[in-house]
Amino acid sequence: MDDPLLVPSLADLRRRRGLKWRLYGEDVLPLWVAEMDVLPPEPVTRAVTDAMALGDTGYPWAPDYVDAVADFAGRHWGWAPEAGRTRLVPNVMLGISEVLRLLTGPGDAVVVNCPVYPPFYAFVRNLGRRVVEAPLGPDGRIDLQRLASAFGDARRDGGRAAYLLASPHNPTGVVHTEQELTAAGELAADHGVRVVVDEIHAPLVHAPHRFVPYLSLPVGAAAFSVFSASKGFNLAGLTSAVAMAGEEAASDLAAMPQEVAFGASHVGSIAQAAALREGDEWLDALLGGLDRNRQLLRELLADRLPGVGYSAPEGTYLAWLDFRPLGLGDDPAGFLREHAKVALSPGPDFGTGGAGHARLNFATSPAVLTEAVERMARAVGDRAVAAGDADYH
Ligand SMILES: Cc1ncc(COP(=O)(O)O)c(C=O)c1O
């Protein structure tokens, strides 16, 4: 199968009416929000078209979607969630909110590993919980000492607390190992902190790295995981997701109001179920393309923007770029949007550790990726010339 990233033309992408292609003007290349420049797997298009032809546009039937998730997880990760401990939720972030509502109360703490996906802050705060940051280590991986100190802070006043973990991590693309997950989970248990794992990027792991489902581990018994096919198969506009509970968390999950599931889209569930059941070949081809792009990005940066820090992500299609050596200030994305006409996600939005960084979404064609780096290099070069930097070549 062809690399899905090679299929849509830039002209067709510009006709899209979603956030990625509409927020900025036609002169900007959008490499920011986590959407991919692909067409869906054919079975998804077929399933949605069939649903339309049938008028199958009512409320969702959860068991079918839950079964598709279990089918995918079993095939890919050798582990499947228990249907009886899996609930349909509208999407991953709303699912996480509902789980945090079960595990914590107003004013309680939620620990996050910063820099991290900005909605982790927004959703937690909108829920009336406070965010406690446990910065990742300099290698971008979980730092157990900082985590222990954040857990201590989170439980300081005796309230309940949760640890919201992105696995794989956004924006660094780190794929936590079994040992890392176990160590973090044991630490959480020692501090009486409940674990909620966002596994939305799980299908997007580059070999030889391996995604380990948190609930498959002994530390997962009291934890929750939230998952959907929306990142792996680019179906954010067709929303549906699951919240899964470990064995000891079943009674917590049972307290989730039934009406939470009403927010999921039936057509979204149909689309995602088709992707999960019949999308393996497409996903393989996509991962091949993403792997080539993460290497291409390395070459392009080395050639055109050698000061920028980049380590190829183990998972996801997100590159966490360190622009600090170039002196573009706290928000390089602001400079690049204005002067290079390339939109990246601003690093400071990702919390402590985000200043001087920006996140680049490389789930696009090699041509667009090359043009984007070219534009950024030109803008940085022009700036150096304007500043009279004699050393700049
Ligand atoms: C880590 C993470 N969680 C959740 C989401 C959003 O998921 P949803 O649209 O299902 O809420 C994203 C989207 O980029 C993400 O990167």
Residue closest to 349 by CA, chosen among 93, 33, 130, 35:
33
In angstroms, what is the span from residue 390 Cα to ligand 1's centroid? 44
For helices 366-386 and 280-304, angle between their N-to-C axes, nearest 10 degrees: 20
Provide φ and ψ at 17, rounded to 5°: -110, 15
Q: Under DSSP, is residue 85 helix (H, G, I), strand (E, B) or coil?
A: helix
Task: Give the count of beta carbons closer than 10 Å to the beta carbon of residue 254.
Answer: 12
Predicted confidence (pLDDT) at residue 392 exceeds the cutoff of 70:
no
Residue whose entry in the numeric block shows the structure tokens 């939005």:
349
Q: Residue 342 in contact with residue 328, Cβ under 8 Å?
A: no
Among 31, 164, 200, 316, the mutation site with the greatest number of ligand 1 atoms within 8 A of its Cβ is 200
pLDDT of residue 388: 79
Q: What is the mean pLDDT of residues 49-56?
A: 98
Return the ligand 1 atom nearest residue 94 CA: 11
Return the ligand 1 atom nearest residue 230 CA: 10
The model's pTM: 0.97
In angstroms, what is the span from residue 23 Cα to ligand 1's centroid? 18
Residue closest to 247 by CA, chosen among 217, 207, 212, 205:
217
pLDDT of residue 65: 98
Q: pLDDT per residue over 100-131, tens digit each?
A: 999 999 999 999 999 999 999 999 999 999 99
Provide φ and ψ at 249, rounded to 5°: -105, 5
Ligand 1 residue neighbourhood (C-beta within 6 Å): 34, 91-93, 117, 166, 170, 198, 200, 228, 230-231, 236, 241
